[in-house]
Structure formats: C-alpha cells, structure tokens
Structure 1
C-alpha cells in the first residue's frame, strides 16, 4: 500500500530519496525552505543549479529540475517553483498543481521510492494555506494512484498551522489504495 505521511518538522533533516525545494525561478537560493536547503546542502547544490541556469535559464513556475542533495540525508533535491498568489486571478491553483505534479513525475522518472514535500507557495508567495493543502493532497493522491515507483510521500509542515490544516482535510482524500497518516 502506498502511503502519505503528514509531519511537522525540518525538511532538511528528513531521510528520503528526494526532498522537494520550494525554489525561485533563479534557482540560486533565497529565503525560507529554499535558503535552508541551500545552506544545509552545501555548495554542490548551488553549483548544479548554476549549470541548469546556464543550460536552460532557470526554472519556470510550475516546472521542476533535479540536483544532488549534497550534505542532506537524501539523494536528490527536486527544485520546483510555485506561484505567487495574486488573488487567484492568474491560474495560481493550476500552477501550484503543476509544481507538485512535475516534481512527482521527476521522482518517478528517477525511480525513487520516497519523496518529501514542503508546503509550496504558502510562505512569502502568500498562497492561502487551506487551498494550497487541498491542491497538494489532491494532486499527490492522483499521482500516487498512477505512479509505479514512488511508494511514500511525506508532507513536511514547517509550522503548526499547516500541520493542522493537513490533518483536518486528509480524510477528504482517503482512498483504498493510499494510506494517509
């Protein structure tokens, strides 16, 4: 049975095949989870991000790219760019869904078993946390049902507010094929 786990914690300390970074389009690090991943992962991550920038000019909103995880307890970092909230008038929900979906598909293409996601776009990008959690859970449940390789997804909530939201809405996404803990 495939599993979704919801925990409160620091994504840079979660031992999985890949952690997802809520990056910005430059891929050069920033604040929040992005800055923490770059700091704790070390120079190797930035070097690979710079190579990606040189090749394709960064990462578009809703897209995903992969680098080594450097000093983190994972093999890979999947960098994805979530949308900045603009009152829901610029396809933000679709772009956020794409960020989760493309990250998951990248994990599948690498034949990974475990992936940890942060709460993408809910910090400085101001996406409403409740709506973001619904997009995240719906999209990941859909992808887990279709996917072959990934067996476990962990949503790593940085704060109590996000954790509470995920715990409250998880029952809406239960299926016989996925256990949500």
Structure 2
C-alpha cells in the first residue's frame, strides 16, 4: 500500500492534518519561508521544543536529511515534523539527502501514529532546488515509502503545483496506473 497523494496550492499553516512538515534550517530555531510561517502561526511552544531538541539531541544543528517532531502549537495539526533539506548544488548530487528528508519525515509520522501529513516542496524555495526535480523526488519518495496514510503537498505557487502534477502523472504512467493522478 502506498500513500494517497493530494496536491493543492495554498498556505501549509492553514491545512488540517495530523502532522505538518516544516522545511526547517539546521538551527531549528525558525527562519524565512515555510519555516518562519510555521513558527509565527504555531506560536512559541514550537520554538520552545525546538530549543530543547537543539540542547539535547543536535547541539551543532540537525543534519540535512533528518527529521524530528514537536508540538504544532496553534497550527491545525497535532505535530510539526521538522526536516532539513539540502541546498541545491550543480556540482554535487544531493538527491539522496532530499529523498532522506521526505523518507525520514514519513518515518517520524508513522512513529507518531499520524494518518495524514502535509508537506511543502522541500528545498525548492531559498535552497534553490529546481522545481521539476524537487517534485519528481518528492512524489517518487512518498510513493515508495511504506507510509500508507494521506499525504498532501501544499505548494506555494501555481507553477510549483504544475510541476507536482506532472510528477504524479509521470509516476502513475511508470507504474502502469491512471495517468490522471
């Protein structure tokens, strides 16, 4: 069984789910983009737990490709799963690290007992990952994961949504499924 994937354009901080994935930086202390929005909307309880995780588990910062969970604070979710995606590099293939960010997030979701997870397009913002490649890696990794809950990709632009739709169609075609997604 594979995850049921839903795609939508929208603000990840407004979508109800068991877990919302934060495209965090290694400090886990907030930042710009999705990370900043999640910390602002979720409130200080998220930052408090992130500080404790930094103090006890990752004093030098969480490595790219890993994931941890905190409360969701005031978000419409039970948990926030923080993952650090890689910065895009034309000289070094970091695809395995991006795959790991999705895979580890789903492993953490399963450990928590989450039945629904909402992802942003990890690394496809300020970290510069090309949209088409980011979408392909995200969809392929989620579909190959043993996680069997509902997965939603909340994408920040119509263009990113189009890349994810194309990745779902291509993946369905490759698996012999319904090309419409």
C-alpha separation between the residues in 1 aligned to 2:140 and 2:124? 16
Correspondence for 2:70: 67
- Which runs of structure 2 are paired with 1:123-162 in the superposition (5 Å)? 123-143=125-145, 146-147=146-147, 150-162=148-160
Correspondence for 1:34: 35
Deviations 1:6-40 (A, max 9, x none): 00000000000000000000000000000000000
Deviations 1:124-146 (A, max 9, x none): 10001100100000000001xx2
Deviations 1:97-141 (A, max 9, x none): 000000001001111100000000011100011001000000000
- Structure 1, unpaired ranges of 5+: none
User: Normalising to structure 1: TM-score of the pair?
Assistant: 0.92
Relative distance call for 1:25 and 1:155 in structure 2 (3 A) is same
State the secondary structure of the residue aligned to 1:34: helix
CA contact (8 A) 1:141 1:178 kept: no
Deviation of residue 180 (structure 1)? 7.8
C-alpha separation between the residues in 1 aligned to 2:71 and 2:81? 9
C-alpha separation between the residues in 2 aligned to 1:165 and 1:179? 15
- Which runs of structure 2 are paired with 1:53-132 in the superposition (5 Å)? 53-56=54-57, 57=59, 58-87=61-90, 89-132=91-134
CA contact (8 A) 1:4 1:180 kept: no
- Structure 2, unpaired ranges of 5+: none
Equivalent pairs, count: 176
CA contact (8 A) 2:170 2:179 kept: no
CA contact (8 A) 2:72 2:80 kept: yes
C-alpha separation between the residues in 2 aligned to 1:14 and 1:160? 17
C-alpha separation between the residues in 2 aligned to 1:52 and 1:178? 42
CA contact (8 A) 1:119 1:155 kept: yes
Q: CA RMSD in A?
A: 1.9
- Which runs of structure 2 are paired with 1:4-43 in the superposition (5 Å)? 4-43=5-44
User: Normalising to structure 2: TM-score of the pair?
Assistant: 0.92
CA contact (8 A) 2:7 2:153 kept: yes
Relative distance call for 1:55 and 1:178 in structure 2 (3 A) is farther
State the secondary structure of the residue aligned to 1:155: strand
Relative distance call for 1:138 and 1:90 in structure 2 (3 A) is same
4+ aligned runs moved over 2 Å, structure 1: 174-181
